[in-house]
Amino acid sequence: MKKIGDSFKGIIGGFVLIAVAVVLLWWNEGNNVRNLKTTAEMGKNYIDVSSEKVNSENEGKLIATSGKLINEEELTDTKFSVKVVTPLLKRTVEVYQWEEDKETDSNDNTTYNYKKVWSSSLIDSSDFHNSGYTNPTTKLYEDATYTSTDVKVGSFSLSNEQVLTLSTKGTVSTFDEEAVKELGFAVYGNYLTNSEDINNPKIGDYRIIFEYNNSTEVSVLAVQKGTSFVDYVSSAGKTVNRVMDGILSGEEMINVIKKENKIIKWALRALGIILCAAGFGAILKPISTIAGYVPILGSIVGAAVGIVAFLLGLAVSLVVIAIAWIRFRPVLGICLLIAVVAIVVLLLTKFKNKKQENPVENTDSSVVNEPEVQNPDSQDNNM
């Protein structure tokens, strides 16, 4: 009975999940429209300029420029005596910790599994279901970021905000081993660690990696302000200020942004559908829980409930997307809504026709088939 009670309690959580999914899907469609308007607007307004000389006539305009990344400043992490000539240096500190995984089967039985992982954020073990798995509550060393104050692309200077967005594909592999040893660490490949055996670490052990920007050429898409850059704010309210590796034209950078937006759009759509289906699954859970008391029936009903929950989640999600499109993109929204209705009608019609084609057969053994009596008149006519 406890399982039944818990499953009924889950109904509230199901409605919450559906509400979250609806809000997420609605926001995502609106955000997608704003992104589309922004990229279209940038495509009309940007101008490609050379980075060799700053032209004051382009003040306040959206420009696309590229060139050699210039920086002569050496950045230093004094704690670990790391020095690199780079615009951007990052220290990432990971701690070896317990992680809890929760799994619930079709019969509503929950199991808790624990595994050891490296994580840069502290995992709170006080909420773990089982005791005996304790993680550190503080980090002796925190993550850190260092930036250069004089970074240029040709004659243009990058703002600190732009420097922070630079890639960090380089990894420090040379250390002052004596300085590191004084802190109780040792060098292991590209990591510093206080673990006695990096291949068999203990809970609470540290490993630290230093990554930096090693780009030689970059491209910028932003508004020119003096000899530097500021955000471009579109009429849709979106801001753009991008620095990308390599030599790219304005059109190529805008295409990169379009691809990124498309990935985010579909990822959030998928997440919304999953949340919505999970919500319906929680609402319908009591049905499969009750049926679970009959061994064979439980698995069949559980599978059926899962399918129904997914279809309901998909249908509601499509309706939300369609209504959102009617709000943000009227023509496409109406077309999608018509398509959804057409699919539902088609499925119902197909189901009805299939039912008519497969009537229930009469299995009553008391019914005797009488021999067919030929019409005498027809015999005369055949003669």
> Mind giving me the DSSP string for 273-319?
HHHHHHHHHHHHHHHHHHHTTSHHHHHHHHHHHHHHHHHHHHHHHHH
366 compared with 248, residue with greater pLDDT? 248
Map tokens 């006519």 to a residue: 381
Q: Is the pLDDT of residue 362 over 80?
A: no
What is the residue whose two structure tokens read 């624990």? 114
Asked if the model's pLDDT at residue 381 lies above 50, the reply is no
For residues 51 and 113, give the distance between their C-alpha atoms in angstroms, rounded to a whole number.
56
Chain segment 47-72, per-residue pLDDT in tens? 999 999 999 999 999 999 999 999 99
**Distance (Å, whole) CA 219 – CA 281:** 48
Answer whether residue 94 shows pLDDT above 90: yes
Give the model's pLDDT for residue 382.
42
Instruction: Say if CB 97 and CB 122 are below 8 A apart.
Output: yes
Q: At what angle do helices 295-328 and 330-357 cross, to 10 degrees?
A: 150
What's residue 160's pLDDT?
95
Contact 172, 82 (CB under 8 A): yes
Report the largest interatomic distance among the alpha carbons of the chain, rounded to a whole angstrom: 120
Q: Average pLDDT in the 4-20 region?
A: 77
What's the pLDDT tens digit per position in 282-309? 888 877 777 666 666 666 767 787 888 8
- Residue 249 structure tokens: 């034209």
Rounded to whole angstroms, how far apart are CA atoms 289 and 4?
Answer: 6
Percent of the chain with pLDDT over 90: 64
Three-state DSSP class for residue 153: strand
Q: What is the spatial distance between Cα 252 and Cα 184, in angstroms, rounded to a whole number?
A: 48
Q: Give which of 243, 221, 258, 249 is closest to 62, Cα–Cα.
A: 221
pLDDT, position 116:
95
The token pair that represents 70 in the structure block: 């210039």
Least confident of 185-194, 206-215, 324-333: 324-333
